[in-house]
Amino acid sequence: MDALRRKTEILPASEWRGMMEPKRTAYLVPQAGGGDPLLLDSLHLVIGRGDDVGYRIRDRKASRHHACVLAVHNRYYVQDLGSTNGTLLNGDRVTSERLAHGDLVQFGSTVFRFEMGADRDADYLKKLDLHSVMSLAEAVDRKDAYTHSHSDAVARIAQRLASELGFSAEAAERVGIAGRLHDIGKIGVPDAVLRKPGRLDDAEFALVCKHPIDGEAILAPLEFLADVLPAVRQHHERFDGRGYPDGLAGQAIAVEARIVQVADTYHAMASRRPYRNPLAREFIRQDFAKNAGTQFDPEATRAFLHLLPSLSEPPAATA
């Protein structure tokens, strides 16, 4: 635990408070042709030359669904949607990156300047419903081909585990929602860190360790998700108290978080990663049995081992 604390202390204390600034107005300003600035007033804006996008650009070098701009409170991100010619940020091709005031963003041959305004967007929180928040979770999964559909799989497994543990259908569904949203804070983790095939250095590890706090902060203003916040913040805690971000142990960890942790760990072990193939089912079974009561909640582990033979194998990742 002390070693973990030393690594995470690389980040300033303000970063660990997980505070999100209220959303301010922001714009994409065309850099040619004298067009009107595009107000970024939605959570998820798809840009491309197709007829069914949120903002259409008449550019043959752009793809039909070229990229999207995500507004996460006062943090804005651009994410390429598999375009043919790529999305450029200040001249560099990117997959998913946070925008800063003055950045130049290029879709095909069309260039915009990103500008932050001074006025608060008072209607932002009114637009956040479960569907729009789920779209952010999908955006996180798109950041890495090896985690494609990870959150959806964790949600299904966590909901089944909750049912196995005697949760009502409604309560088990809420655990599934927590599983779907557990990694939403990774929207702010740089792609280079998430996709790094080798061992993370201390600074990179600290960024990853921060995602449960950011996830809680993203969802905290939404009253209809108040019951899933503990699972989002605590899903990397360990039963023996050696997890993060708060070093909670045993029953101090929300039971929903203990369930999501088991589902999350299983799917990570059973999935292909850049640095290894999926782990064998028997190896997974033995690892969970060995770590019940230390890494994992014993009751959640027993329920998981009972379900393990019926869990389908995750599909291979696609680039």
Whether the pLDDT of residue 260 is over 70: the answer is: yes
Summarised one tens digit per residue, pLDDT across range 283-303 is 999 999 999 999 999 999 999
CA angle 52, 55, 59 (to 5 degrees): 90
Helix H or strand E encompassing 162: helix 150-164
Report the percentage of the chain scoring pLDDT > 70.
90
**pLDDT, mean of residues 88-99:** 94
What pLDDT shows up at residue 146?
60
| Per-residue pLDDT at 89 exceeds 60 | yes
At 6, list the tokens: 């030393």
Task: Look up residue 302 and give its DSSP letter.
Answer: H
pLDDT of residue 308 exceeding 90: yes
In the predicted structure, residue 70 carries a pLDDT above the cut 50: yes
Per-residue model confidence as pLDDT tens digits over 100-121:
999 999 999 999 999 999 999 9
pLDDT in tens, 6-64: 444 444 444 445 567 889 999 999 998 778 999 999 889 999 999 999 999 999 999 99
Please provide the distance, in angstroms rounded to a whole number, between the alpha carbons at the two ends of the chain.
35
Per-residue model confidence as pLDDT tens digits over 74-88: 999 999 999 999 999
Report the candidate in 191, 194, 185 with the shortest Cα–Cα distance to residue 212: 185
Q: What is the pLDDT of residue 145?
A: 66
Give yes or no for residue 252 having a pLDDT over 50: yes
Does the pLDDT of residue 214 top 50, yes or no? yes
Mean pLDDT of the chain: 89
pLDDT at 130 over 80: yes
The confidence score (pLDDT) of residue 317 equals 45
Q: Which pLDDT band holds residue 200 (cuts at 50, 70, 90)? A: confident
Mean pLDDT of the region 202-220: 93
pLDDT band at 275 (very low <50, low <70, confident <90, very high): confident
How far are the Cα atoms of 51, 65, 137, 211 from residue 183, in angstroms, in the given order? Answer: 32, 25, 7, 7
* Residue range 257-270: mean pLDDT, rounded: 96
Per-residue confidence at 262, pLDDT binned at 50, 70, 90?
very high
What digits encode the pLDDT tens for the residues 151-181?
A: 999 999 999 999 999 999 999 999 999 999 9
Residue 264 is predicted with a pLDDT of 96
CA distance 39 to 119: 12
279 vs 317, more confident: 279
Q: Single out the residue of 194, 108, 82, 210 nearest to residue 144, CA to CA.
A: 194
Distances in Å between the alpha carbon of 30 and those of 57, 112, 114?
11, 4, 9
Residue 151 and residue 140: Cα distance in Å, rounded?
A: 9
Say which residue, 282 or 19, is predicted with more confidence: 282
- Alpha-carbon separation of residue 58 from 30, 47, 305 (angstroms): 12, 11, 54
SS3 11: coil
